[in-house]
Amino acid sequence: MNKRLNTIAVDLTPVLPGGENGGAKIFVLELLRHLAEMAPQTRFILLTQAAAHEELEILDRSNVRRLMVVGPAAEPVAPNQLGKRFKSFARRLLSIFPGRVRRVVNRLRYKLSTIPSPAGFNSMLREMNVDLLFCPFTAPTYFEPGIPVVSTIYDLQYKTYPDFFAEADVAQRDRTFNDACRRATVLVAISDYARESALKHGNLDPSRISTVYLRMGQRIAQQGGDDGDILSRHALGAKKYLLYPANFWKHKNHEMLITAFGMACAQGLAADIKLVCTGAPGERQEWLKRSVRAMHLHDRVIFPGYLPNAELGALISSCLGVVFPSLYEGFGLPVIEAMAAGVPVACSNTTSLPEVASEAAILFNPRIPDEIAQAMVTLAENEVLRERLVRAGLQRAAEFADSALMTRQYWECFQFALTNAKHGNQLIGVYEDGWCSPALNIQIAAAAGARTLEIEFLAPKWLPETRLTVQGYRNDTPLGSPLIIARGAGAQLSLPVESGGGWYKVTISPPYIPSYEAHGDDQRVLSCIMQRCGIALADGERTVLFSGKTDV
């Protein structure tokens, strides 16, 4: 019999106002609405941050409540949790800061991260009797030992196109993915392509990761009689423009699209056909506008900005066709939305897009502008092909229209995570190279007889602090006095293990971030090096949990 999911915590702290989260936010909000309706007996606690807390009021139900955990009105937090949260938000902003400001922010977040944490702070979910943590934006930030985690994987674009991201962003995305691989009980990929990418890079057990498609193709319904008002507001005529509904991120490939549109115009594309690029305004949009003016296409390329669903739906349903030249997609929801609206589609032949579009779209190489230009001309001039694509697209979109099926599949993943949570020996918080994070979580299986958890640490001589403080806990209760390790020395921590086993925690402070000390480019939050970790039995036998280098 399935265990009951009475309370599910959902981490929505990555949600930003407006359209900054792209399609992921659209999917998450839709899924949560359906989950709340499908499981009225389950309580959903949405963990939010201040900037988006009020906007997420649309999710409120009798069984759904929001809890602000990041921001000025949040629940009281421990000092070092402020550091963690500051670091999380700072990483998102660092790439746009000038160098001097970046250094100041780095120093501040490092100081915050060195404030000690009370051992019990990471019990927030347990105190709310949470049965499962759902992380729809991947990162298991609020992971607590003993509570199963389900994380959604969208893509690993940073692995394929690291140059599209700031160095700090690549490091943060890699940490997020690795943390999800280590801590999530179940991972959910949004396409088979995303699943295969995760298996390739994550050293995962295939049974732990499932594909659940974004089945929400009917989210933007075709608009009725108000379309004309919306079109006139943007100086557009029905069936007189091609549409690219996407944010202005580098992988969306707007430069190549605009180049191709210029080529299509030169090849005879009708003079009254325009190109519309929706998406949130920003620095890249302004740069693209300047490029369009330099190409003398400013009267034919329109940038309406970020649009609410009703306006976007009107632009989709009234366009001549959707052109989607993205270099990388984990799924490609706008392709399905266009098909559901009865609009022909031309899209890239890369990553997940062939899987999603199948044979219902014109496929082109997004790196060859001539192919994109030819696809645009074909959409504009070949009425017979347009009609065939519309029919095929409607049929394809119908396969992605069952939101209830998507919701049930996620619920099955939740149930699987709840009933298949690991109960054996498990060590969380140490990297393959032996470096430890500032907090280790060790699950020890139940067994008869006296046992001891033994961990050998080394504090390298180049650490910035003269000593480290190591403290062990069980159920947030300190076990013995702190262990002090001098810089350049090693020491062993020994903790008694009860016959029932359970979760043990070890904190190591202060933390150490190599790049902040000019010790290379490593931006991980570390503490010291683990040389060995194991469970010693009374008869001398030993269960090894980790064996690293004997010297450094």
DSSP 216-280: -TTSSPPP-TTHHHHHHHTT--TTSEEEEE----GGG-HHHHHHHHHHHHHTT--TT-EEEEE--
* Percent of the chain residues topping a pLDDT of 90: 70
Residues 501/443, Cβ–Cβ less than 8 Å: yes
Q: Is residue 104 scored above 70 in pLDDT?
A: no
Written as one string, the DSSP assignment of 9-54 is EEE-TT--STTTTTHHHHHHHHHHHHHHHH-TTSEEEEEEEHHHHT
Please tell me what DSSP assigns to residue 92.
H
Structure tokens at 221: 């319904």
Mean pLDDT check: name the lowest of 1-5, 316-320, 535-539.
Answer: 1-5
Domain contains 520? yes
pLDDT at 447: 87
**Tally of domains in the chain:** 3
Domain contains 109? yes
For residues 66 and 184, membership in a common domain is answered with yes
For residues 165 and 178, membership in a common domain is answered with yes
Domain contains 85? no
For residues 154 and 191, membership in a common domain is answered with yes
The amino acid at 86: F
pLDDT at 515: 87
For residues 264 and 278, membership in a common domain is answered with yes
User: What backbone torsions phi and psi does residue 541 show, to the nearest 5 degrees?
Assistant: -65, 160
For residues 411 and 534, membership in a common domain is answered with no
What mean pLDDT comes out for the span 464-492? 94
Structure tokens at 248: 């202005």
What mean pLDDT comes out for the span 495-516? 91
**Residue (of 274, 275, 220, 287) closest to 248 by Cα position:** 287
What mean pLDDT comes out for the span 87-115? 46
User: Integer distance in angstroms from the first to the last C-alpha of the chain?
Assistant: 50
Tell me how far apart the alpha carbons of residues 490 and 484 are, in angstroms, rounded to a whole number: 10
For 253, the domain range is: 227-400
| Helical ranges in 189-240 per DSSP H | 192-202, 227-233
> By three-state DSSP, how is residue 137 classified?
coil
Q: Is residue 436 scored above 90 in pLDDT?
A: yes
Q: Which pLDDT tens digit goes with each residue over 170-183?
A: 999 999 999 999 88
For residues 386 and 359, membership in a common domain is answered with yes
> Cβ atoms within 10 A of the Cβ of 550, count?
9
Domain contains 82? no
For residues 181 and 232, membership in a common domain is answered with no
pLDDT at 126: 87
Q: Which pLDDT tens digit goes with each residue over 22-54?
A: 778 989 999 999 999 999 999 999 999 999 999
Q: Is residue 522 scored above 60 in pLDDT?
A: yes
Domain contains 49? yes
Structure tokens at 427: 């060590």
Confidence of residue 107 (pLDDT cuts 50, 70, 90): very low
Q: CB-side exposure of 347: number of CA atoms within 13 Å?
A: 34
pLDDT at 549: 64
For residues 47 and 169, membership in a common domain is answered with yes
Q: Of 365, 400, 435, which residue constitutes the final position of a domain?
A: 400
What mean pLDDT comes out for the span 338-347? 96
* Percent of the chain residues topping a pLDDT of 70: 88
- Give residue for tokens 């009609």: 387
Structure tokens at 62: 């009798």
What mean pLDDT comes out for the span 482-487? 97
> Domain holding 511: CATH number?
2.60.120
Domain contains 221? no
User: What backbone torsions phi and psi does residue 303 show, to the nearest 5 degrees?
Assistant: -120, 90
What mean pLDDT comes out for the span 217-239? 76
Q: CB-side exposure of 143: number of CA atoms within 13 Å?
A: 21
What mean pLDDT comes out for the span 464-490? 94
pLDDT at 71: 81
> By three-state DSSP, how is residue 89 classified?
helix
Q: Is residue 93 scored above 70 in pLDDT?
A: no
What mean pLDDT comes out for the span 532-549? 89
Q: Which pLDDT tens digit goes with each residue over 387-433?
A: 999 999 999 999 999 999 999 999 999 999 999 877 678 898 898 89
Tell me how far apart the alpha carbons of residues 438 and 457 are, in angstroms, rounded to a whole number: 12
pLDDT at 73: 55
pLDDT at 85: 46
> Domain holding 194: CATH number?
3.40.50.2000
Tell me how far apart the alpha carbons of residues 244 and 278 are, in angstroms, rounded to a whole number: 7
What mean pLDDT comes out for the span 266-274? 96
The dihedral through the CA atoms of 403, 404, 408, 411 has a sign that is positive
pLDDT at 532: 96
The dihedral through the CA atoms of 119, 125, 128, 130 has a sign that is negative
Residues 507/117, Cβ–Cβ less than 8 Å: yes
Q: Is residue 79 scored above 80 in pLDDT?
A: no
Domain contains 220? no
- For the chain, the average pLDDT equals 88
Domain contains 337? yes
pLDDT at 390: 98
For residues 320 and 251, membership in a common domain is answered with yes
Ranked by mean pLDDT, which of 95-104, 154-163, 209-218, 419-428 comes out on top?
A: 154-163
Q: Is residue 354 scored above 60 in pLDDT?
A: yes
For residues 396 and 312, membership in a common domain is answered with yes
